[in-house]
Structure 1
Amino acid sequence: MAENRTLLQVKELKKYFFIGDSLFKKNRQYLTAVDDVTFDIKKGETFGLVGESGCGKSTLGRCIIKLYEPTGGNIIFDGNDITNISEKEMMRYRKRIQMIFQDPYASLNTRMTVSEIIGEGIDTHNLTKGKERQERIHKLLKIVGLKHEHASRYPHEFSGGQRQRIGIARALAVEPDLVICDEPISALDVSIQAQVVNMLEDLQDNMGLTYLFIAHDLSMVKHISDRIGVMYLGKLMEICESKELYKNPIHPYTQALLSSIPIPDPRLNKVSKRIILHGDVKSPINPPEGCRFHSRCRFCEKICTEVTPKLIEVETNHFVACHLVK
């Protein structure tokens, strides 16, 4: 259950990647991955972040944990601005902010045993040693549904679902406050996805964890999230409570996104109205003026092509970035 205390604040965060050189500074090209993103996460809350592939979700998560240095804006964690602190200072916060990566095959070192993978964070932060260290690793394996004999094995000996459980145990080893889940189920079989999500929910209840849950599976995000933010081409389009978003989507992009969710009943699915988006996603190297979504929006007006809309509260705790919403 979320508390009133804000654990994480992201203010006007930007991340641009330099992709080409030029004799003239003004002609240098940058990929705009994240652009002026603002939101907060309460202690004990799960904040879902959704959007099409390439919209900047994972880059945003990596900026928060400082795997990428932000180009601009501020990251405030538990009341402290960590945006420009040194790597040495950041070590204190790395214990409190951990990440579960998308690909369970690429995120684990194939030359290390499970015990070494999970114990690496314990050793880095000098949390415990010897017998206590091994007992802690065995306890973590049990928590994520694995056995203590798995500690001596290597990643290639496990299935994708088991590997992701190892990644979760690694993240939990240092007892973090915030866990950034970067599409943790997208590489898993459907039969395994629900198991992993249910486990994450149980861990949250038992350990008081706070999640930033990044995904593009809208039905799963609805299930696990308290609030949801919708991203498009580096910008946040809409933020509100999970139930409210699915009941009353306001931004045209959110409406189109939710209309694409398959309905389990074949008859209802056949007659359900799908919103088809025409045109291609614009390049983040040269994003369009005005609203990022205007080239695909069926309600586009002149102002949408000229002025970037601000994220404003249109209903209680329901924020939308759209000129056509009053």
Structure 2
Amino acid sequence: MRIAIFTDETGWHTRQLQAALRARGAVGRCIDLADCHIDTTAAWHGLAIPGFGRELPAAALVRGIAGGSFEQVTKRLGVLHALRELGVPVYNDARAIERSVDKSMTSLLLHAAGVPTPPTWATESPAQAQRIVMRESAAGHALVLKPLFGSQGKGLQLIGQVDGVHHPLPDLSKGYGGLAYLQRFIPPATEPGYDWRVLVVGGRAVTAMRRVSAHWVHNVAQGARCQPAPLTQALAQRAEAAAAALDMDYAGVDLMPAAGGAIQVIEVNGVAAWQGLQRVTGFNIAQAIVDDLLDRKLAGLAPARMA
């Protein structure tokens, strides 16, 4: 069985997935979606996927999608959409990735599903964004300004009322694409502060860690320390509800403790890294992902149609 691992870079994660696939008697081939294209003369399905000839993969694991122009990213996601329509299980599929990459859509779907998440605004109007910031600041709140498509804690700014000082909204044309995505800041519950990353696989929360940092940004890429954390029922239920709201096969769900012991979901990651989480987890995460793909997504499906 040949599985496509879509990634824009090979490394630790792809090696983990390939080893887990080998343990199940399957082969994982790493492919950049930028190298895939549409060719309606090449095969009945119209896709050209390097290494698969006229055939389709039995399934696909999405590990990374390179950035690019709007047209390039649309084509890459189109390949994932096409595979799903052609009956190839895609883990996570393009719809789930689109929901999680667009932070405003994530917030909207979490809110609609009743999953606790901080008050959030997304607007293209600088004047409206300014009014939101001034109103929140007057009420004593800080806001986190995030790039809509950002990751790893890059580009985050605290604005509004921060330690008794008002921080204004910056120029949205520089680094934010002319759009304000604003989320009310949750002050740290302890010093140093922390959040949780919970991994959900196949609809079930399987492991958790705390990301601890003296800085208010708790991403591992920004220097946070990974610590083991018990996967409590409250954490598991909240993370599972968030993954279900976005209809994800697997997800890295970021949660924070809030006032009164409440737990709020901050983000849901559809192409989540797990190297830091693996260091504090007692089982093979890649194997859990591969097992879920093969035993749930592929179970009962007819073999992919061949040319």
Q: What is the TM-score of this pair, normalised by structure 1? A: 0.29
Could you tell me the TM-score, scaled by structure 2's length?
A: 0.30
